[in-house]
Amino acid sequence: MHNAYFHFAAPANEPVYSYAPGSPEKVALKKQLSAFKAQQADIPMYINNQEIRTGKTVDLRPPHEIKHKLGHFHMGEASHINDAIAAALAAKEQWAATPWEQRAGIFLKAAELIATKYRYHMNAATMLGQSKNAYQAEIDSACELIDFLRYNVHFLSEIYKQQPVSSPGVHNRTEYRPLEGFVLAVTPFNFTAIAGNLPTSAAMCGNVVVWKPADTQVFAANMFMQIMIEAGLPAGVINLIYVDGPQLGDICFSHPEFAGIHFTGSTAVFQHMWQTIGQNIKKYKAYPRIVGETGGKDFVLAHSSADVAVTAIALARGAFEYQGQKCSAASRAYLPSNIAEAVKTRLLAELKTMKMGSVEDFSNFINAVIDERSFDKITNYIENAKKDPAAKIIAGGNYSKTEGYFIEPTVIEVTDPKYVTMCEEIFGPVLTIYTYDADKFEEIISVVDSSSSYALTGSIIAQDRYAIDLATKKLVNAAGNFYINDKPTGAVVGQQPFGGARASGTNDKAGSMLNLYRWLSARTIKETLVPPTEYGYPFIKEA
Ligand SMILES: NC(=O)c1ccc[n+]([C@@H]2O[C@H](COP(=O)([O-])OP(=O)(O)OC[C@H]3O[C@@H](n4cnc5c(N)ncnc54)[C@H](O)[C@@H]3O)[C@@H](O)[C@H]2O)c1
Ligand SMILES: N[C@@H](CCC=O)C(=O)O
């Protein structure tokens, strides 16, 4: 029962710690890294908040130090998928009926726990499990995750406030119900924040969730689930399982109570999911919500008026932070002929200063790519480029998987703007550069727009305002997040709602109201205060 309308004000973004030499946060984080390395984690699944261990274990190893074992997780099978669905459906009625301010308290408490007691646990788990340096972990597993939780509470309270008008004698109201059935959250390896956001954004709206993370993100996913339970998440609301992806799809997408999928990952997997859901459409109680943020081929377009240093730094950070494994990473650059040489010279000089190695040495800017499959895929593109006369490697190009999955930041120069590495998502530390005739800016904009099926992020670097205006207009559909004089990465919750269209996803903008609407099903209620007791219009009586 509510006796008041409770408002949740807009939060401020969580401050980013610097981890500067000698800082207390650096000392605390190092301590937690050592603690995780000294133990062997035995990570269960969580169904109904019960820890489930199957004995069928998969080892967890830091991608940058593959000889070290962090522990293992327990792999589930078909019965665990069914158990997770059953637990979710059993929890549904009570969770959906729980007052919003009580639900909100759990997610706000989780955010606070991450900001304080568990900040270094979350960051150290992400650093070791996903090979992120301290700064990249801080902006992901601490700040972005905290922001998702706090902002979504605020956005949802803003949605609940929205009510229709009422004419005299009538009271109209809209209630924002959760979806009927369960929501499936399938999450990627590259952002702990995204992995935490996909199940919690749906759960916050009163939904019950089955959550499957990427195997390579389980170390941090486990930490987050423990925090959610400590924050008071009731049993069955989010059920975390580690199972085979296709088997998960087979069971969930043919269940009559399947209510929606919240996915982030590759385009191919999402398209396959959509196709399966379409084929099964008659099996469901209601039309499932399909939300997916997927791949990208993100561009940096420099104009002849661009500042050389601004362009080079946008490329250095945009392409190589977290080894280019951000869906937003700059992976194709279009440089005008008047400044191309100067930009390349500055970029290559910056790359020479980037150290590569373990996350435990905080001076390493570059760490390892996520796993062997990814390593092989990325290095295959590099090898093909080495053999191709149409491409020239101008930086990096070396790699090794002896100690960990290390690939040097690599820059390929091409003479064909439609060369394969200008068009396909590589998802690694590889940037391809094409130099265009500085007088043909308008023509190159068309090439940028038409070279890839994706439309996630992109940047225009220019000082000429007419050039910025032209690119902004002509590239209106080429990116869901468009940057002016900046790198195309690093969106902040509440400031740059994130998502792309075309083959990059449904563009439901994670961490915004637009996303939350997808997990709600509105019911409109009209109450007539003094209902009529006779039928007919006045003129009928007169006649
Ligand atoms: N647009 C965005 O906001 C965004 C954000 C992060 C990552 N990404 C994209 O994610 C990709 C990298 O992440 P990834 O390697 O974890 O992606 P992925 O598609 O390989 O895996 C994503 C998730 O899907 C699961 N999965 C794989 N095959 C499946 C199947 N057949 N059925 C059901 N589930 C299945 C995986 O186990 C994982 O949990 C890149 O393409 C990147 O661009 C996009
Ligand atoms: N939101 C992140 C990208 C997430 C995808 O991997 C960014 O803006 O860089």
Residue 204 near residue 152, CB atoms below 8 Å: yes
**How many other CB atoms are found less than 10 A from the CB of residue 163?**
11
Same domain, 261 and 311: no
User: Cα separation of 4 and 8, whole Å?
Assistant: 13
User: 457: Cβ below 6 Å to ligand 1?
Assistant: no
Say how many Å lie between the CA of residue 414 and the centre of ligand 2: 26
Containing structural domain, residue 443? 298-484
What does the block give as tokens for 398?
Answer: 């070396």
| Residue 199, domain CATH | 3.40.605.10
HEC per residue, 220-236: HHHHHHHHHHHCCCCCC
Check residue 11 and report its DSSP letter.
P
User: Cα separation of 334 and 395, whole Å?
Assistant: 17
User: Cα separation of 238 and 241, whole Å?
Assistant: 10
Based on the number of CB atoms within 10 Å of its own CB, is 112 exposed (0-12), middle (13-18) or buried (19 or more)? middle
Say how many Å lie between the CA of residue 317 and the centre of ligand 2: 13
Residues in Cβ contact with 382 at an 8 Å cutoff, skipping those fewer than 6 apart: 393, 397, 399, 407, 410, 412, 430
Q: Pick the catalytic residue: 293, 350, 360, 408?
A: 293
Number of domains in the chain: 2
Residue 336 near residue 448, CB atoms below 8 Å: no
Per-residue pLDDT tens digits for 134-186:
999 999 999 999 999 999 999 999 999 999 999 999 999 999 999 999 999 99
Active site residue 443: no
Helix locations, 412-517, DSSP H? 420-423, 441-450, 465-474, 513-517
Residue 107 near residue 229, CB atoms below 8 Å: no
Of 432, 455, 484, the position where a domain reaches its end is 484
The residue whose CB lies within 8 Å of the most ligand 1 atoms, and thus the one to mutate among 264, 267, 457, is 264
Among the bound ligands, name the one nearest to the CA of residue 480. Answer: 1
Q: What is the pLDDT of residue 1?
A: 53
Check residue 261 and report its DSSP letter.
E
Q: What is the pLDDT of residue 484?
A: 99
Same domain, 36 and 78: yes
Length of the chain: 543
Q: What is the pLDDT of residue 537?
A: 81
Same domain, 262 and 369: no
**Cα separations (Å) of 421 from 124, 272, 284, 295?**
33, 24, 41, 14
* Minimal-distance CA residue to ligand 2 atom 7: 490
Same domain, 279 and 314: no
Q: What is the pLDDT of residue 535?
A: 87
Same domain, 255 and 310: no
- Mean pLDDT, the chain, integer: 97
The string of DSSP letters for 7-33 reads P-PPPPPPPPP---TT-HHHHHHHHHH
Low-confidence ranges of the chain (pLDDT < 50): none
Same domain, 325 and 374: yes
User: 299: Cβ below 6 Å to ligand 2?
Assistant: no
Query: Can you tell me the ipTM of this complex?
Result: 0.98
Q: Dihedral, CA atoms, 368, 373, 376, 380, nearest 10 degrees?
A: -120
Q: Which helix (H) or strand (E) holds 85?
A: helix 78-97
**Tokens 């509470």 sit on residue:** 153
Same domain, 289 and 306: no
* Minimal-distance CA residue to ligand 1 atom 28: 245
Same domain, 243 and 329: no
